[in-house]
Amino acid sequence: MKKRVAVVFGGRSVEHEVSVITGLQVIENMDRDKYHIIPIYINKKGKWFTGESLMEFKNFKENKLDDIQEVILTPITNDHNLYNHPENIGLFKKKIIDKIDVVFPTIHGTNGEDGTIQGLFELMNIPYVGSGVLASSVGMDKIIMKDVFKANNLPIVDYRWFYRKEWIENQERIINIIEESLDYPVFVKPANLGSSIGISKAKDKDGFIKAMEIATRYDRKIIVEKSVENPREINCAVMGYDDNVIASLCEEPLGWEEILTFEDKYINSNVKGTGKEGSRRIIPADIDDNIREKIEDIAKKSFISIDGRGNARIDFLLAKDGKIYVNEINTLPGSIAFYLWEGKGYSFKELIDNMIDIAIKVHEDKNDNMYHYDADLFNKIHLGGSKAKKM
């Protein structure tokens, strides 16, 4: 019997369009013999929709989404039904549109990649692909992520972080901290955003002020990192659950100088890569075996340190002196990284199968936990009067 898989994409995020592309890539490559696909699109206002026209990219380009209907999921435990929105059929009435077995979230950035939507799926007690609430939120917040990596003795660049409010109230103090502890050049980044949006390199005080003004438009938390000058970027994906984790091939993106921009990632890149110098990526990366082995090992440890599951891509900076730094981890759907798995013998279809299988195993494991404890607490505590009595 086919599993009924809901692919959720879109969302209230500056990465909305990227999410739509990712969701449709997943839909296009799912095995129709194994899965009944239920597309769920969240528009920029946060409304949820389903409909057959959501399965075709050209319908988004031509704005031909005529058959879609607004729907809702409920946070009720074990209610895995997709309902018609009550306002469409009368107040307090719900009509079941479909039943869901597994959710495949592909929402990039805010409210999707950060653990928010994963919390809904946890409340529903439904299997879902990718990392859980904690790992997703840690992987999304560059500050907390680096704190966790640092605590696990993983190599990272030096950094400082600030709230937007601090910057508004005392710019000179923050400038002094950066100049005394990091010095220029530095990278300034919104803490909770992907796709290189809002990131700038500052080479002096004026550049730093401008970079902070850009970053604070996108987030209330800002991270400032010491620049590694003229590094090579090497990326490696990992897949698994608990400590049973495998690594993909490594890649080296080409054609970027100081920042791998939004356009480099999604418009200019040759996604599959050929290993040829003419492509935008070299896969596998042209690095020594000892460097590759270290990167694979650190990638696995990074994933395990945040309690990741499913699939993720870890981005590294390889300095000219041979030092390796973890730059960031991209949990699903920040990167499905299918092109890094092809050389390891996984087609996109097989990668999707693996991620769904992991989601089901994680769900079964979670449901082995006890969720009640008989303490007879109500009969041991007496409440009433002006004061509550102690046990």
SS (H, E, C) 154-206: CCCCCEEEEEHHHHHHCHHHHHHHHHHHCCCCEEEEECCCCCCCCCEEECCHH
292 is in an annotated binding site: no
d(CA 372, CA 376): 11
225 is in an annotated binding site: yes
179 is in an annotated binding site: no
User: How many CB atoms sit inside 10 A of residue 26's CB?
Assistant: 25
The set of residues, in sequence order, having a beta carbon less than 8 Å from that of 59 and lying 6+ positions away, is 53, 65
CATH 1.20.1430.10 at 158-226, yes or no: no
Q: Where are the domains of the chain?
A: 3-128, 158-226, 232-366
Ranges 140-144, 210-214, 254-258, 282-286: which has the least confidence: 254-258
166 is in an annotated binding site: no
Q: Is the pLDDT of residue 3 over 60?
A: yes
Q: pLDDT of 18-67, one tens digit each?
A: 999 999 999 999 999 999 999 999 999 999 999 999 999 999 999 889 88
Higher pLDDT, 261 or 313: 313
Half-sphere exposure of 59 (CA within 13 A, CB side): 14
Over its C-alpha atoms, the chain yields an Rg (Å, rounded) of 23
Q: Which fold has domain 3-128?
A: Rossmann fold (3.40.50)
Residue 380 DSSP class: T
Per-residue burial over 299-329, b if 16 or more Cβ lie within 10 Å, else e, is bbbbbbbbbbbbbbbbbbbbeeeeebbbbbb
347 is in an annotated binding site: no
pLDDT of residue 309: 95
Q: Which fold has domain 232-366?
A: D-amino Acid Aminotransferase; Chain A, domain 1 (3.30.470)
387 is in an annotated binding site: no
Ordered alpha helix ranges (H), 4-64: 16-29, 57-61
Paired sense of beta strands 221-226 and 159-163, if any: antiparallel
* Mean pLDDT value across the chain: 89
327 is in an annotated binding site: yes
Q: Which of 331, 294, 338 is nearest to 316 (CA)?
A: 294
Q: Do residues 95 and 109 make contact, with C-beta atoms less than 8 angstroms apart? A: no
195 is in an annotated binding site: yes
Higher pLDDT, 381 or 154: 154
Amino acid at 5: V
Q: pLDDT of 186-206, one tens digit each?
A: 999 999 876 577 899 999 999
Confidence band, pLDDT 50/70/90 cuts, at residue 275: very low
Ranges 251-260, 288-297, 314-323: which has the least confidence: 251-260
Paired sense of beta strands 69-72 and 48-50, if any: antiparallel
Q: Is the pLDDT of residue 89 over 90?
A: no
Higher pLDDT, 335 or 62: 62
Q: pLDDT of 17-26, one tens digit each?
A: 999 999 999 9
Half-sphere exposure of 221 (CA within 13 A, CB side): 10
Tokens of 155: 């190599």
d(CA 242, CA 227): 33
Please list the active-site residues.
15, 195, 335
Q: Is the pLDDT of residue 177 over 60?
A: yes
Confidence band, pLDDT 50/70/90 cuts, at residue 273: very low
Q: Is the pLDDT of residue 234 over 80?
A: yes
Residue 128 DSSP class: B
How many angstroms from the chain centroid is the CA of residue 389? 47
Q: Do residues 294 and 117 make contact, with C-beta atoms less than 8 angstroms apart? A: no
Q: Is the pLDDT of residue 390 over 90?
A: no
Q: Is the pLDDT of residue 88 over 80?
A: no
315 is in an annotated binding site: yes
